[in-house]
């Protein structure tokens, strides 16, 4: 039997991805920080191999273009999160620069979330904050 459209509900990750407010912006930022941070590691490895041996040109092009386009999306998520949480410009610049060095996005993401964002969401205990959190 065919199911009705109402029977299909988005999974938890899809709900978080499309959620409004600080919680949704935080999830999108963390997602993009992990993707960009993961992509830049092989990009640096293949760039070093290309410089050292002259090989791996295709890999550098693939990872470079992919990282470049996703870095733009990462910058947008940084901007949205910083507007919703009113982060200091220094934190925003650190977050933007973290996408350019391998491994730094993981450290900066953890640092910003635990030191700046979680204290903002502390007054909203339901599910780590609410969609209407500041």
Per-residue pLDDT of the chain (134 residues; tens, 9 = 90+): 455 555 555 566 666 666 778 888 999 999 999 999 999 999 999 999 999 998 888 999 999 999 999 999 999 999 999 999 999 999 999 999 999 999 899 999 999 999 888 888 777 666 454 444 44
pTM: 0.78
Q: What is the pLDDT of residue 127?
A: 47
Q: What was the pLDDT predicted at 117?
A: 86
Which of these, 122, 123, 115, 121, lies nearest to 95 by C-alpha position? 115
Nearby residues of 74 by Cβ (< 8 Å), 6 or more positions away: 32, 33, 35, 36, 99
Strand ranges, E, within 4-103: none
């Amino acid at each position: 039997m065919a199911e009705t459209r109402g029977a299909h509900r988005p999974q938890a990750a899809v709900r978080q991805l499309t959620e409004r407010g600080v919680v949704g912006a935080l999830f999108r930022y963390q997602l993009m920080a992990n993707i960009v941070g993961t992509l830049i590691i092989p990009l640096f490895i293949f760039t070093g191999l290309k410089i050292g041996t002259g090989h791996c040109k295709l890999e550098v092009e693939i990872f470079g273009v992919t990282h470049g386009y996703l870095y733009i999306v990462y910058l947008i998520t940084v901007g949205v999160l910083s507007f919703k949480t009113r982060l200091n410009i220094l934190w925003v610049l650190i977050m933007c620069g973290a996408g350019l060095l391998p491994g730094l996005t993981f450290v900066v993401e953890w640092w910003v979330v635990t030191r700046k964002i979680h204290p903002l969401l502390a007054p909203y205990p339901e599910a780590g904050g609410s969609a209407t959190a500041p």
